[in-house]
Structure 1
């Protein structure tokens, strides 16, 4: 039991180290190639999945960050012409945020590069191992999500 526990601890530390390294590389690539940030990329990725748009509070929920964190990012994306904000009928305090056509085109360019970066970073991981690791990490996430729901 103790050795299994140590193996899992080592696995977690390696996952964390790899995650930090991959995230750092992605941040640098986004900055260098697109003059953008990972949080802006994440917001666009969330919005592109919701064609009808999201309220700011919904977007914060999807990204698991506070409304305050999203507000500044949305402001910049609006300035860049990638996102539009519109009032929600019947709720003067809320606004609906959605991608513009220009934003969709820009996100498609960034997402294509992002996929290529990830593919290159994980080139030494055989496809079968990638599938097995993905399934194992999904199981961990599900277990923790179910734990939160049972509280």
Structure 2
């Protein structure tokens, strides 16, 4: 039988890196669960709705559905339902793309901008409360290291 499992015994840091990953994952899931609960309780909303509004808040002219899917890194099908519900609630509007009858831009309405600003302020407060044990400098240092990690991982997948 051919054993093709990678050998990690030679690198004593391997187990520590695995533990680090598991701690990242646990902390991320805990924070995400709390954010989901806070959005549900305080705004009768969801994290996907918040994420979509956050993406649109960065693009004043709006985004095509395919662009929005790319920004959110989800399928068009996932975005369509959320867009439909946000449009029904008056938070976003669909606007025809000049010269392309099949395409529409999605953008926040004035009401959507106002609601997102309220939710974003609450979101920042929630995150601050959850991460209050880190000083500003510690948060910058960890964020910098995670950015380095992300860059390294991106380069390895090219």
TM-score by length of 1: 0.94
Alpha-carbon shift at residue 90 of structure 1 (Å) = 2.0
* 1:113 aligned partner: 122
**Which of the numbers 12, 18, 25 marks the counterpart of 1:16?**
25
* 1:145 aligned partner: 154
How many angstroms apart in 2 are the aligned matches of 1:45 and 1:72? 16
- Structure 2, unaligned runs of 5 or more: 1-9
Alpha-carbon shift at residue 78 of structure 1 (Å) = 0.5
Aligned length: 149
Alpha-carbon shift at residue 142 of structure 1 (Å) = 1.0
Larger Rg: 2
* 1:48 aligned partner: 57
TM-score by length of 2: 0.90
SS in structure 2 at match of 1:36: coil
How many angstroms apart in 1 are the aligned matches of 2:21 and 2:89? 39
Instruction: Specify which structure has the higher proportion of helix.
Output: 1
C-alpha deviations, 1:1-37, integer Å up to 9, x for none? Answer: 6232222211111010000000000000000000000
- Structure 1, unaligned runs of 5 or more: none
* 1:7 aligned partner: 16
Once superposed, what is the RMSD of the aligned Cα atoms? 1.1
